[in-house]
DNA sequence: TTGAAAATGAATATTATTATCATAAGCTAA
DNA sequence: TTAGCTTATGATAATAATATTCATTTTCAA
């Protein structure tokens, strides 16, 4: 399952779950796969409706739920009350830093932090499954 | 403002804002100050109603908003859809590790992680105001 | 004491998310 | 290809947490 495209991964996930392929689902997924932002359901719905205006909110909602389940999308909550989705990154896990004035979101990776997290968890007897690290502040243009 | 009790800090905050002292507000704040958990509004309301059953949800909500504003309470969201509040800790900032099975919450401090966060932010031109680090996994009893 | 300003609490509004249901579409086996 | 069963869709409604409204009560400074 290394070199399959995202759409192929989705298709095989649907198959294992006994789910069906539909034009709406495909188009929503494809539209999402082409984004490189942290997109909300409303934003994605708007994008999708440009070509297929009759598509419903519920279908976008269910498709993103599906993509999250199979790992192709990651659901994020940055505190503005809206769940946002991003594509599974090629280069592995990353964390976020968010500007509290203009809402700009930057991403960063820090292996040392990840390692220290694991150590802290181990010390408390926990087995970490996932984590959330978000820094909030002012970006260079807003400070 | 070093050695003032939390209630005194609240009182002086109210004063600067031209707000008034009321028995309800005092009792809710005092009840909250005595907690040492991450408490939800519903839980706090229930606790408060034991002695003063006629107190309303809105007053608890508004009091916690006030305490959060003046820094005496910290609002946390651990992903269960409920905002939880904790007292401003005496020993400074801490982060959390949450069991995804039994919901146990442990706290930890790690100065090295904090430092690395600051460095990562600086590299991106950000000035960090606050941050959120949450580890999710299984506690020793659940793994 | 009194009157303007703020607080209260019940109720309602808002908002994001999730569920329902009648109908449409996909798929499998004849 | 078609029949028949399953799943998907989209409009709408239900949920649930949070936030606001408003008539009434309370506070507090003059
Ligand atoms: Mn990201
Ligand atoms: Mn805590
Ligand atoms: Zn900014
Ligand atoms: Zn546990």
- In whole angstroms, what is the distance from residue B86 CA to residue B67 CA? 10
Topology of domain A95-137, CATH: Dna Ligase; domain 1 (3.30.1490)
d(CA A51, CA A29): 14
Give the pLDDT score at A3.
52
CA of B100 to C1' of D5 (A): 39
* CB contact (8 A) between residue B136 and residue A131: yes
Residues in chain A predicted with pLDDT less than 50, given as ranges, are 1-2
- What confidence score (pLDDT) does residue A4 get? 62
All residues of chain B having their beta carbon less than 8 Å from the beta carbon of residue A116 are: 110, 112-113, 116
List, in sequence order, every residue forming a beta bridge with B75; answer none if it has no partner: B85
Residue A68 beta carbon within 7 A of nucleic strand C: no
pLDDT score of A2? 46
Indicate yes or no: CB of A123 within 8 angstroms of CB of B112: no
The DSSP bridge pattern shows strands A83-87 and A39-40 to be antiparallel
Distance from CA(B67) to C1'(C3), angstroms, rounded? 29
Residue B78: per-residue pLDDT: 95
Out of B116, B125, B135, the one facing A121 most closely (by C-beta) is: B135
Nucleotides of C under 7 A from a protein CB: 5-11, 15-20, 25-27
Q: Which residues pair with B40 in a beta bridge?
A: B84
Two domains, one topology: A4-87 and A95-137: no
Identify the residue among A78, A93, A99, A137 best suited for mutation to test binding to B, counting B beta carbons within 10 A and taking the highest: A137
For B60-81, what is each residue's pLDDT tens digit?
Answer: 999 999 999 999 999 999 999 9
Distances in Å between the Cα of B83 and the Cα atoms of A59, A76, B28, B61, B97 are 29, 17, 17, 11, 16
- B14-23, Cβ contacts within 8 angstroms, sequence gap of 24 or more: B14/B66, B19/B66
Contact in structure between A137 and A97 (CB atoms under 8 Å): yes
Residues of A in contact with B117 (CB under 8 A): 113, 133, 135
C-alpha span between A122 and A116 (Å, rounded): 10
Q: What is the pLDDT of residue B1?
A: 46
Closest Cβ opposite residue B124 in set A79, A97, A100? A97
Q: Locate the domains of chain B by residue range.
A: 4-87, 95-137
Q: Find the B62 Cα to ligand 1 centroid distance in Å.
A: 34
Closest by Cα among A87, A80, A83, A81 to A104: A80
Q: For an interface test with A, give the residue of B124, B128, B134 to mutate (most A CBs within 10 A).
A: B124
Low-confidence ranges of chain B (pLDDT < 50): 1-2
Q: Whose atoms come closest to the Cα of A85: which ligand?
A: 1
According to DSSP, the residues that pair with A138 across neighbouring strands are B127
pTM of the model: 0.92
Whether the CB-CB separation of A84 and A75 falls below 8 Å is answered with yes
Whole-number pLDDT of residue B2 = 46
What's the CATH number for B4-87?
1.10.10.10
N-to-C CA span, chain B: 45
CB contact under 8 A, B136 and A120: no
């Amino acid at each position: 399952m290394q070199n399959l495209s995202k759409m192929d991964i989705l298709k095989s996930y649907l198959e294992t779950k006994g789910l069906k392929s539909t034009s709406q689902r495909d188009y929503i997924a494809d539209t999402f796969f082409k984004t490189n932002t942290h997109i909300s359901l409303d934003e994605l719905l708007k994008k999708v409706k440009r070509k297929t205006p009759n598509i419903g909110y519920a279908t976008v909602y269910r498709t993103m739920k599906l993509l999250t389940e199979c790992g192709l999308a990651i659901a994020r909550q940055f505190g503005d009350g809206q769940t946002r989705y991003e594509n599974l990154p090629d280069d592995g896990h990353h964390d976020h830093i968010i500007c509290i004035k203009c809402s700009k979101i930057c991403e960063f990776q820090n292996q040392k932090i990840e390692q220290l997290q694991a150590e802290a968890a181990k010390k408390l007897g926990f087995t970490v499954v996932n984590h959330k690290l978000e820094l909030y502040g002012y970006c260079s243009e807003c400070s």
